[in-house]
Amino acid sequence: MKNINFRMKQKMNEVFSIEPNDLGTGYLTSFFKKTTSYLKTMPFIYVIPFTFFISIFMYFVLGRFLIKLVTILQYGF
């Protein structure tokens, strides 16, 4: 029982180690919390489709420059 209490206290300290974010206005704070909640667990589920869409968009906007950019990036390591 003592052990469970200790672990519970430890977990509570871990969870409340930082104060919740407050962006000034209620609307902004709730928008921020809603948006970031998707990124807290399994962010790649949202990130990969988003970046794929951005890449396709960049290809249509930049055209051949995108291919040149990839060549430059490949020399970047």
HEC string of the chain?
CHHHHHHHHHHHHHHCCCCCCCCCCHHHHHHHHHHHHHHHCCCHHHHHHHHHHHHHHHHHHHCHHHHHHHHHHHCCC
Question: According to the binding rule CB under 8 A, does residue 70 interact with another protein?
Answer: yes
Residue choice 2, 25, 26, 42 for contact with another protein (CB under 8 A): 42
Q: Does 14 bind another protein (CB under 8 A)?
A: yes
Residues that bind another protein (CB under 8 A): 14-15, 17-19, 21-23, 32, 39-44, 47-48, 50-52, 54-56, 58-59, 64, 66-71, 73-77
